[in-house]
Amino acid sequence: MRKTRAVSTDWRLEIERSGYYPALVIDAVATTLGEEDAEAFIVHHEATFDPAMEMRRHITVMLLTATRLVVCHTDEHPPTEPGGTSHASTTTDSIQLGNIQSVALTRVVPNPAQYTPGSLPSELVLSVNLSVNWGAVAPIDLEPASCADQTCELDHG
């Protein structure tokens, strides 16, 4: 008998289940998806510790549509000033399927010396790594022109 497991087919439910700013993450993903439906998805919620040993969480949601791979990543950040509030940043990428050049799947198997082909090990951890090429990114920060020492004058003539 083959072991099976029920898997959610609703990416919104999985984001809700993670408990990590679900309204923010769902809104970002839905906005990026637009009218397209997700044919497959993965939701990865993870906690890490920064150098000050404070816990920081983040979530990555990847969805496959008929035409695109949508990747949404949200990080939380500590307050920038004492007594300030924390904030979150969400980045979404929409990659046309034709621009994906390779997908690597890493299988981690405990006790590899005891593994026999075709058998189901007692534990199997899958890790998905994507190598994606969607072109060059050149961010530009725009700020108002200013002169810190008051010696600058604009010539309007």
pLDDT tens-digit series, residues 31-81: 999 999 999 998 988 887 777 777 788 899 999 999 999 999 999 887 888
Burial class (CB in 10 A: 0-12, 13-18, 19+), 55: exposed
Structure tokens at 137: 């990114």
Q: What is the mean pLDDT of residues 126-138?
A: 52
List all residues 6 or more positions away from 51 whose beta carbon is below 8 Å from its beta carbon.
none
